[in-house]
Structure 1
Amino acid sequence: MRESEPRRAPRSEAIRRCLASGKRRPKEALIRLVVDPDGLLVPDLSERLPGRGLWIAPQRDMIAHAQRRRLFAKAAKSTVRVPEDLADQVEALMRQRCLDSIALARRAGEAVAGQEKVRSWLGSGRVAVLLEASDASEGGRKRMIGLAKAIGEGLRIFQIFTAAELGKAFGRDTSVHVALAPGGLATKLRREAARFEEFMSRTNDGSDALMERHGKR
C-alpha cells in the first residue's frame, strides 16, 4: 500500500517521521508504538506510555514491511519483540477508539442516529461528521451522502463502520446513518476516523513499491 501524500502541517504542529517510508507527517496522522520494559513492542494510540516513540503510517502494509525488514529494532536501537498480530492489534484499537468517541458524543447529546434525525441536522447545518454504515444499501448511502455534500460544507463523511458497530454505540442493534455536531468530540473523531480509514483502505502497490525502493524485488 503506497502511503498517501501527507498534508502540509502548520508550523506549530508536531511532525514525526514514519520509520517504514521515511516520510514526515503530522504525528496525529501516524501511529505511535513503544517498547515496554520486557522488550515487547506495544501500540500506544493514546500517546501516553513512557519511552521513546516509534512512529509509523497507519497502513497494514507499512507495518508488515517494518516487521519483515526489522525496522522497529533498528529504530529502537535495541532488541525488540514484535507481535505477529501487531497489525490486527492496531486495527482493533483504532476501531474501538472511534466507536468509543461516537458513544461518548451520543451520551453528550452531540450525536444522533436514524435517517430523519440525521436529515434534520443536515438541514439545519448542524453536522460536522457524517457516518454511513459500510454494509448498508448503496442507494440509501448515496442519497444521504448526496444530501450531505449539497448542504454540509466542510463536513467529513466516513463509511468504515458496519451498521451493527454504529448501532452498538447507540444501544441498538443497528444504525445506518449517524451524525455528530461540531465540537471537540467531532474534531477528535475526525482525526481518529481519518487514521482508521487510511488503515482500512486497500491497494495492491504498497509493499511492492517499498520493496522496489529498497532494491529487494
Structure 2
Amino acid sequence: MRQIILDTETTGLDPNQGHRIIEFAGLEMVGRKLTGKHLHLYIHPERPIDPDAQRVHGISLEFLEGKPVYAKVAAEIADFLRDAELIIHNAPFDVGFLNAEFARLGMEPINKLCANVIDTLAEARDMFPGKRNSLDALCDRFEIDRSNRTLHGALVDCELLSEVYLWMTRGQESLAMDIEVEVPGGHAGHDLTFERKPLKVLAADEAELAEHQAYLDVLDKTVKGSCVWRALENPAPAEA
C-alpha cells in the first residue's frame, strides 16, 4: 500500500479558534521504503502566528509573505494524499487541521480522501506504557540520529518519523522464519536445521527500573491492593 508520512506546522493549537496550517510535509513510502517522492509547502495563514507556536517551529509571518494561501495548494495536497494510508505522530492534531482547511473550501475530509490513518503516538503509548513517547523520545529509544533537528520543521519531522515507524513495526521481519534452500534432487525446500543467532538482551537500567516501580505503584492504587505484576515479581513460596 502507498503510505504517506505526514506532518504539519500551524499558527496555534486549535483549528476551531481559527488557527491555520503554515507548513505541510509528506514523504511517500511504498513497500516500507521511501520512494523519494514528497510534497513540502509553506502556506500563508492569512492571520497572525501565536508567539508560543513560533517559538516551537521558528516560522514567522514575515517569512511566509508571498507564499500561497491554502486555497491555492489544497488540490495539490488532496491529490498527493488521495487513497494513501497516512502515518502521523499525534494524528488527531494534524487531521483536525487538514479537515478544517478542506472544510473551508467545501472539499472532502481525510476519512473520505484517504484509505486509513495510523497514529504512531497512540501505538507508541501501547508499546511503551508509562514512558515518554514524543518523537524526540522515540528517536532516542531507537537510537535514531536527530542531530540535524533544532526546530520542529515538518519535513525533518517526517524523515525522523519514517525511521521511528519502521522500527516500531519491524515485527519478525528480521527473523528467518521461512527460508528456501536447495536440497538434494534439485527441489526447493525448507532448511529445518537453520540456527537462529541468539537474540540480544538489553537489561533495564536503574532509571528504567525506578520508572517501572513507580508505574506499579500507580496500578496498586488503581486496584486498591497489589496488582498482578507484584505477584509475578514476588511469587509466594510453595507449600511443603
TM-score tier by shorter-chain length is: under 0.3
Choose between structure 1 and 2: higher helix proportion.
Answer: 1
Q: TM-score, normalised by structure 2?
A: 0.23
Q: Highest CA radius of gyration, 1 or 2?
A: 2
Q: TM-score, normalised by structure 1?
A: 0.24
- Higher-RCO chain (CA-CA 8 Å, sequence separation at least 6): 1
